[in-house]
Amino acid sequence: MEQFKVVILAAGEGTRMKSSLPKVLHKAAGRTLVEWVASSVEGISDKPVLIYGREGELLKGTLGEDRFTYVHQEQRLGTGHAVMTAREAVKDSEYTIVLAGDMPLIRKESINRLVEAIKNDRTFSCMLLTAIPEKTPAFGRIVRDKNGDVCDIIEDRDCTEEQKKIKELNISIYCFRTADLMEALDMLRPDNAQKEYYLTDTVRHLYSMGKKIGSISLDDPVESIGVNDRVQLAYASEKLRERINEDLMRNGVTLIDPKNTYIDCGVKIGRDTTVYPGVILEGMTDIGSETILYQGSRIRDSKVGDHTTIENSVLLSAEVGSYSKVGPNAYLRPGTKIGDHCRIGDFVETKNAVIGDGTKISHLTYVGDADLGEDINIGCGVVFVNFDGKEKHRIKVGDRAFIGCNTNLISPVEVGEGSYIAAGTTITKEVPADALAIGRSKQMVREGWAKGRYKIHRE
């Protein structure tokens, strides 16, 4: 028998999001809402049970077929009904943890406290997480008997005026003894304002059976916040970024202005790196040590080495080595691999290009589908012409080559080591090593020609 099974409720319509995307697939700080929730129960159960209502294929395609046990709640008749649909999936466990899929701020430490509490005292039939925030939102109220024991949960819409004064709130995270949960589910009835099967009613039924119900209050009530609309999504994203940024700073990263620095949860940054305001780091980005990321840069799924400088540039699935400089206003597209001690200057665009150590591409150049060696100098306005209208071809440039300004390299072509291409040349054939290539018209001067043209225009 598995000791714990986890059920994540994700079948709500999320109408207040006003979106065609299921609510739990909206992202906060680089991760979907339901993935944040799943991370909080990681290690407790091998495969959480995800209850979904619509867009099942989209959920599976986004989250992965094997990450969850998917259970379809065809009719959405309340939280109790949702857990009823998971009966088969949890029946062989000793305990069942139930939590909502739209609570990205819940911490793993809080879930572990819940688990440890019920493991340490097996007389409990149910253990709840509760919160006592400064302002009381429209959550269910925790009702206690004269001895102070939990005896009921009353949903906000069903509360009397006296019950609304209760400050301790249910946050919809439970740990049940599975056998007792199954029995309580059989007792649920839709006798409420919404005509739904409330999971909260199981607490009252367990109490009536003489079962023991406990609770643990969150240290930080912010963890209890769910996401129901875009405003709450923005707030949750802000709080998650605060956690990410604080963790990075405590581990040796300098953030000049944390509130204006946007870093996803999967990003890694080495010690003594400095990140300026307005930087966006997304996906599985890995930044080295003692690197500087100046304002306005966006880096996604990329790797940057140590002692490198990135200024006001975009890197998408690219790699940059150590002691290199990129930007300002460079655009490194997928497949770009730049070596150490390189210079990628302003308005340089690269795509699917391998660039060796020490190579300099200073400005206004496009390098696509190319293999560049080491210590190459590429002048201003050079274009690697990689597309013939039907297919793309690669260009190879050897070590120590010099490519003059406004050169066009027409693929497929190879430029040898140590060769020199004069400015304004169009290369269509192989350039041997150590050769000089010139492919431009001889300059012709006609004295007085422009003066005559000016006279004609005036007349």
Is 341 noted as a catalytic residue in this protein?
no
Q: Is the pLDDT of residue 138 over 90?
A: no
pLDDT of residue 63: 95
What is the separation of C-alpha 453 from the centre of its chain, rounded to a whole number of angstroms? 62
User: Rounded to a whole number, what is the largest CA-CA distance in the chain?
Assistant: 110
Residue type, 283: G
The span from the CA of 87 to the CA of 12, in Å, is: 19
Mean pLDDT of the chain: 94
pLDDT of residue 43: 92
The span from the CA of 206 to the CA of 176, in Å, is: 10
The span from the CA of 283 to the CA of 166, in Å, is: 42
pLDDT of residue 363: 95
Which of residues 348 and 442 earns the better pLDDT score?
A: 348
Least confident of 224-228, 382-386, 452-456: 452-456
Q: For residues 360 and 342, is the Cβ–Cβ distance under 8 A?
A: yes
- Domains along the chain with CATH numbers: 2-224 (3.90.550.10), 313-437 (2.160.10.10)
Q: Is the pLDDT of residue 134 over 90?
A: no
pLDDT of residue 459: 59
pLDDT of residue 455: 63
Selection from 209, 186, 207, 181 nearest residue 197 by Cα = 186
pLDDT of residue 458: 62
pTM of the model: 0.91
pLDDT of residue 193: 74
Q: For residues 291 and 304, is the Cβ–Cβ distance under 8 A?
A: yes
The catalytically annotated residue of 26, 205, 341, 363 is: 363
